Amino acid sequence: MTSRDECVGLDQKDPLAELRSEFILDDSLIYLDGNSLGPLTTSSRERVRTATEREWGEGLVRSWGSAGWMEQPTRLGDRVARLIGAGPGAVVVADTLTFLLAKLLGTALELRPGRTTVITDRANFHSDLYIAEGMARLTSRGVRVVAIDRNRLDEYLNDDVAVVMLTHVDFRTGEMLDLSGITARVHQAGALMIWDFAHSTGAVPLDVTTANVDFAAGCTYKYVNAGPGGPGFAYVAPRWHAEIRNVLPGWLGHVAPFDFEETFRPAPGVRQLVTSSPSVLALAALEGALDVWDRVDMSEVRTKSLALTDLFIELVEETLPGEFEIATPRSHDQRGSQVALRHSEGYGIVRALLERGVIGDFRDPDICRFGFAPLYVRYVDVYDAVGHLVEVLEKGEHQDDRFRVRHAVT
């Protein structure tokens, strides 16, 4: 079994180790929930301070031009693009993820006017399911959403399928789907593909260009560390730029917002997907977080992510044999950057760990979820987290009465 000393040694050799100092993290915490809310970086804190005090406080309305607020959605889109393998001009930052999925689904449906089926995954994040249903109801041609077992996708692909909308890394189990393989099969059926990258962006290397992805959207407050409620981003493959039509058009997606024209004339490319004013301060936080990402090689992130998740699985299996069902795939090419442990008393376990300063989260019905964000999680954190887990179970701390009542946010 890997020892604590060996973990210390792995941290000393880690090429990403120095990045941890960019984060404001209390050393008494082991933070394994960056898949839900990434921690604050000093660069975000500084960027938000500048945007608040100087740009807003002193510059006032002049800052729309002088501080480049107007161009934030596309300027930051070009920086997020690097994380997903997109070229310049193909990504826009706006809204939050659920809204962007609505816009992408709306535009994709209009690109397949003769077809009436949208396929999604029954195990998808509930917000993705709700918004797909809502968008289907808004169409005049009777579009229906079919939520399937994603492993049986091929059985459902036929010439009525307009769009397939899937999440690339499962939010519960951390299973990663085959981006290019599934996209190719969907295209063969004449349908369009929308990928949700919520648990992929900043977690695994992505290449939308090679995978021939049509549309994708993600959030920035998980692994990207842009802060609570941070903005979403949308990717549209350049081949669709001339044909897309924002189903929720607004003035800031107009080619000339300050002409105040009566009819909508779209800005070129992804810019038209912007509906309303950018959330300048939230975008400033993202800008700061991206300063850290600019220094990061995604292949190094992937190598460390797999090493951390492998180590966690190894230690859990060796110290607590048979205690958990490991819901996350062993196979590297099917794993995101989290590990999900199933346990009938999972909620109490997560709460007891929380009291010991090990922060993970719980997802119904029985999943203890631990995210391993390679920019700041150390090998020694993995070792110590498993040590706490062993003690929680040995002492039965998770069975305490105070964990019988659920918190509203798990």
Ligand X SMILES: *Cc1c(COP(=O)(O)O)cnc(C)c1O
Query: Should residue 117 be labelled a site residue for ligand X when binding is judged by CB under 6 A?
Result: no
Query: Should residue 216 be labelled a site residue for ligand X when binding is judged by CB under 6 A?
Result: no
Dihedral sign for Cα atoms in the order 227, 286, 13, 304: positive
Q: Considering beta carbons, is residue 194 or 292 the nearer one to ligand X?
A: 194
DSSP letter at 403 equals G
Catalytic sites, residue numbers: 125, 196, 221-222, 369
Give the separation between CA 405 and CA 410, rounded to whole angstroms. 11
Q: Considering beta carbons, is residue 183 or 200 the nearer one to ligand X?
A: 200
In the complex, minimum distance from the CB of residue 108 to ligand X, in angstroms, rounded to a whole number? 17
- The DSSP result for 378-401, as a single string, is -HHHHHHHHHHHHHHHHHTGGG-G
Instruction: Kindly report the three-state secondary structure assignment for every residue of 200-267.
Output: CCCCCCCCCCCCCCCEEEEECCCCCCCCCCCCEEEEECHHHCCCCCCCCCCHHHECCHHHCCCCCCEC
Give the separation between CA 127 and CA 198, rounded to whole angstroms. 12
Query: Should residue 219 be labelled a site residue for ligand X when binding is judged by CB under 6 A?
Result: yes
Query: Should residue 127 be labelled a site residue for ligand X when binding is judged by CB under 6 A?
Result: yes
Query: Should residue 377 be labelled a site residue for ligand X when binding is judged by CB under 6 A?
Result: no
Q: Say how many residues touch ligand X, by CB under 6 A.
A: 13
Q: Considering beta carbons, is residue 199 or 254 the nearer one to ligand X?
A: 199
305 touches 204 (CB < 8 A): yes
Structure tokens belonging to residue 30? 């082991």
Q: Would strands 338-342 and 367-371 be described as parallel, antiparallel, or unpaired?
A: antiparallel
Query: Should residue 167 be labelled a site residue for ligand X when binding is judged by CB under 6 A?
Result: yes
- The single residue among 23, 31, 69, 171 that binds ligand X, judged by CB under 6 A, is 171
Which among 124-132, 236-244, 284-292, 354-362 is the span making contact with ligand X, rule CB under 6 A?
Answer: 124-132
- Interface positions, 59-98, toward ligand X (CB under 6 A): 96-98
Q: Would strands 338-342 and 325-326 be described as parallel, antiparallel, or unpaired?
A: antiparallel
In the complex, minimum distance from the CB of residue 304 to ligand X, in angstroms, rounded to a whole number? 22
216 touches 197 (CB < 8 A): yes
Q: Considering beta carbons, is residue 19 or 216 the nearer one to ligand X?
A: 216
292 touches 373 (CB < 8 A): no
Binding mask 230-259 for ligand X (x = CB under 6 A): --x---------------------------
159 touches 134 (CB < 8 A): no
In the complex, minimum distance from the CB of residue 198 to ligand X, in angstroms, rounded to a whole number? 3
- The single residue among 23, 125, 233, 347 that binds ligand X, judged by CB under 6 A, is 125
In the complex, minimum distance from the CB of residue 229 to ligand X, in angstroms, rounded to a whole number? 8
241 touches 273 (CB < 8 A): no
Q: Considering beta carbons, is residue 218 or 253 the nearer one to ligand X?
A: 218
Q: Considering beta carbons, is residue 128 or 366 the nearer one to ligand X?
A: 128
Query: Should residue 173 be labelled a site residue for ligand X when binding is judged by CB under 6 A?
Result: no
- Interface positions, 178-197, toward ligand X (CB under 6 A): 196
Residue numbers at the binding site for ligand X (CB under 6 A): 96-98, 125, 127-128, 167, 171, 196, 198-199, 219, 232
